[in-house]
Chains A and B, each alone.
Chain A
Amino acid sequence: MDHSLIATGLRKRFGQTRALDGFDLRVAPGTVHGLLGPNGAGKSTAVRVLTTLTRLEEGTATIAGIDVRRDPAGVRSRIGLVGQAAAVDEILGGEQNLVMFGRLFGLAKRAARARASQLLEQFDLAEVGSKPVSSYSGGMRRRLDIAASLILSPSVLFLDEPTTGLDPRGRNEVWRAVRQASAAGTTVLLTTQYLEEADQLADQISVMSAGRVIADGTPDSLKSDLGADVVSVVVSDPGRLAEAAGLLGRVAGAEASVDKDARAASTRATTGSAAMVEAIRALDAAGIELDDVSLRRPTLDEVFLTLTDTDTNTKETR
């Protein structure tokens, strides 16, 4: 299968900072790929390099088979970019914006108008199409921004933290727009700091830290690779919480974490339900009374924190 986007060994420095430090990525056609990482991990630099906005120093990247360094103009005709700021004209109306960008993409006046009204319809903006963008809500601006990036049906749509600064309603609107674009066959590369967003939208996730990808996989595989399951118990007597945590840790072969307010102790257990049964037996034998017992998959938050922590630790000890 030919990938829509292949990046190998990308490096980019800003002064002393290594914004990209051996960044590798492969994105399969028609998928939504989430690039997840904290602030400063290099997500935006990766997007800027891949969209030809920032010059690449080292490494190779191709988009829809076109080399980013050798043919930046060719790349530009096959991508759509939604940057961190909603890059639409505030004074013009939504329709005027789409017509202007359409004409810049080389559409004739009439074709640009037709495409604009089609996109306004698709992204639920038809009613406000003639109103100035300055009167739009954050979610509406973002949708217009996404619509403007889809005028030529690009092979790859880049979205750089598209929901940052939006209220929950705006965020849901943008999620719907991303799903629509993806359903229409566009490959999407989305950067986000929000695990929930990656979990909601992405087919594949790459976790980024310090300029490179430190883990790849589907949301489910990342959760199961990293963390096995989580066994947690809630004790009735807060005085015996420490003891319960000790027992739980011994059974699972890992240290248990304690939440005093919730009277809960929890630990990762690779053996899943077997570990839970064993834990209940051990706690029962010790005469510790339980209010609740649960076995659950780790949240992406836990996966993410584990990954980035290990990465920082290994970096520091190096």
Chain B
Amino acid sequence: MSAIRAGWIITLRDLQHWVRQPAMPIFGIAFTIMLLLMFAFLFGGAIEIPGGGADYIGFLLPGVFTLTMLFGLENTMAAMSEDSKRGVTDRFRSMPIPSSSIVLGRAGADLLYSALSLAVLMGGGLLLGWRVETGLGQAVLAAALLLWLRFALLWLGIFLGLTFRGAGATMAIQVLVWPIGFLSSVFVSTETMPAWLGAVTQWNPVSITATAARELFGNPTGVTAGLLSTHAVLLAVVVPLAITLVFLPLSARAYRGLGK
């Protein structure tokens, strides 16, 4: 059996989970919508965007899209560690299917879920007054870059899920994802931060993809100078690629380590 076919059957298993327990995906997406509303209305009035005028919704939405990609990391990690703890991974490994299909199945399910979340959030954004100011082609490219970041984070999640299997580790990642999400340009422009902090948060991969998405959607980027203001799209291609190049081999190694 080909790895793709076996991977798809394993992906279908996750889709069946959503049907059986719709509360899980619904709450996941509802949570992001809540964050979005909170920032749009609670803090939004008080936040200024350098060079962006008063269009906070336009700035915020691509940021929240990116944040959703980051939050997906938790799902990947939790699902991976749950399966290896329960022996499901061992069952798959004892079956006559290519070992890569297990990871492909995970990747398929997680990317589908993130794409679905993204679609829901875009719909919600349009209702709130967010607009794509450019064209369809650039909007599609922005969505592709967002999912490209999600793809890179998949390997990080698989690596973490296979390496740290305790319940405590999942918890630690869930907590750590927050500062990583907030120490970025998701909610505020890095140019409004103290210089040292702005320099750090600007190079957060989340900031890079968010800036590229803003640029492609024609929304205010909040970046007026520096490399990111001129090459955001290129960086949003390269940085996730770098993450993938590091963590794909590492997760493959962690996977082989199960057989040591």
- Asked if B228 is at the interface of the complex by the 8 Å CB criterion, the answer is no
Q: A87 touching B91 by the CB < 8 A rule?
A: yes
Q: Which stretch of A29-37, A52-60, A166-174, A290-298 is in the interface?
A: A52-60
- Asked if A136 is at the interface of the complex by the 8 Å CB criterion, the answer is no
User: Looking at chain B, what size class is its interface with the partner chain?
Assistant: 20 to 34
In the assembled complex, which residues on chain A have CB atoms less than 8 Å from the CB atom of B17? 89, 91-92
In the assembled complex, which residues on chain A have CB atoms less than 8 Å from the CB atom of B87? 83-87
Q: A104 touching B92 by the CB < 8 A rule?
A: yes
Q: Closest Cβ of chain A: how far from B94's Cβ, in Å?
A: 4
Q: A104 touching B94 by the CB < 8 A rule?
A: no
- Asked if B54 is at the interface of the complex by the 8 Å CB criterion, the answer is no
Q: Which stretch of B7-15, B160-168, B169-177 is in the interface?
A: B7-15
In the assembled complex, which residues on chain A have CB atoms less than 8 Å from the CB atom of B86? 85-87, 90
Q: What's the Cα separation between A89 and B93 when bound, in Å?
A: 15
- Asked if A18 is at the interface of the complex by the 8 Å CB criterion, the answer is no
Q: Closest Cβ of chain B: how far from A142's Cβ, in Å?
A: 12
Q: A103 touching B9 by the CB < 8 A rule?
A: yes
In the assembled complex, which residues on chain B have CB atoms less than 8 Å from the CB atom of A79? 94
In the assembled complex, which residues on chain A have CB atoms less than 8 Å from the CB atom of B97? 104
Q: What's the Cα separation between A106 and B9 when bound, in Å?
A: 10
- Asked if B1 is at the interface of the complex by the 8 Å CB criterion, the answer is yes
- Asked if B238 is at the interface of the complex by the 8 Å CB criterion, the answer is no
Q: Closest Cβ of chain B: how far from A70's Cβ, in Å?
A: 15
Contact A92 B94, CB 8 Å, known A55-B259, A55-B260: no
- Asked if B6 is at the interface of the complex by the 8 Å CB criterion, the answer is yes
In the assembled complex, which residues on chain A have CB atoms less than 8 Å from the CB atom of B21? 91
Q: A132 touching B20 by the CB < 8 A rule?
A: yes
Contact bitstring A49-82, B, C-beta under 8 A = 1, else 0: 0011111000000000000000001001101010
In the assembled complex, which residues on chain A have CB atoms less than 8 Å from the CB atom of B95? 76, 101, 104-105
Q: B93 touching A104 by the CB < 8 A rule?
A: no
In the assembled complex, which residues on chain A have CB atoms less than 8 Å from the CB atom of B94? 51-53, 76, 79, 81
- Asked if A88 is at the interface of the complex by the 8 Å CB criterion, the answer is yes
Q: A77 touching B91 by the CB < 8 A rule?
A: no
Name A83's contact: one of B6, B9, B90 (CB within 8 Å): B90
Q: What's the Cα separation between A89 and B14 when bound, in Å?
A: 10
In the assembled complex, which residues on chain B have CB atoms less than 8 Å from the CB atom of A85? 85-87
In the complex, chain A residues 88-141 whose Cβ is within 8 Å of any chain B Cβ: 88-93, 96, 100-101, 103-106, 132
- Asked if A148 is at the interface of the complex by the 8 Å CB criterion, the answer is yes
- Asked if B88 is at the interface of the complex by the 8 Å CB criterion, the answer is yes
> CB-nearest residue of chain A relative to B20?
A91
Name B88's contact: one of A53, A76, A88, A96 (CB within 8 Å): A88
Q: B9 touching A104 by the CB < 8 A rule?
A: yes
Interface residues of B (CB under 8 A from A): 1, 6, 9-10, 12-13, 16-17, 20-21, 85-88, 90-97, 258-260
4 closest A-B pairs by CB: A87-B87, A85-B87, A77-B96, A87-B91
Interface residues of A (CB under 8 A from B): 51-55, 73, 76-77, 79, 81, 83-93, 96, 100-101, 103-106, 132, 148
Jot down 30 A-B pairs with beta carbons below 8 A, ordered by A.
A52-B94, A52-B259, A53-B90, A54-B260, A76-B96, A77-B96, A79-B94, A81-B91, A83-B87, A83-B90, A85-B87, A87-B86, A87-B87, A87-B88, A87-B90, A90-B86, A92-B17, A92-B20, A96-B16, A100-B9, A100-B10, A100-B12, A100-B13, A104-B9, A104-B92, A104-B95, A104-B97, A105-B96, A132-B20, A148-B91
Name 15 extra pairs, CB < 8 A, besides A53-B94, A91-B20: A51-B94, A52-B259, A77-B96, A81-B90, A83-B90, A85-B87, A89-B88, A91-B17, A92-B20, A96-B16, A100-B9, A103-B9, A104-B6, A104-B92, A105-B96
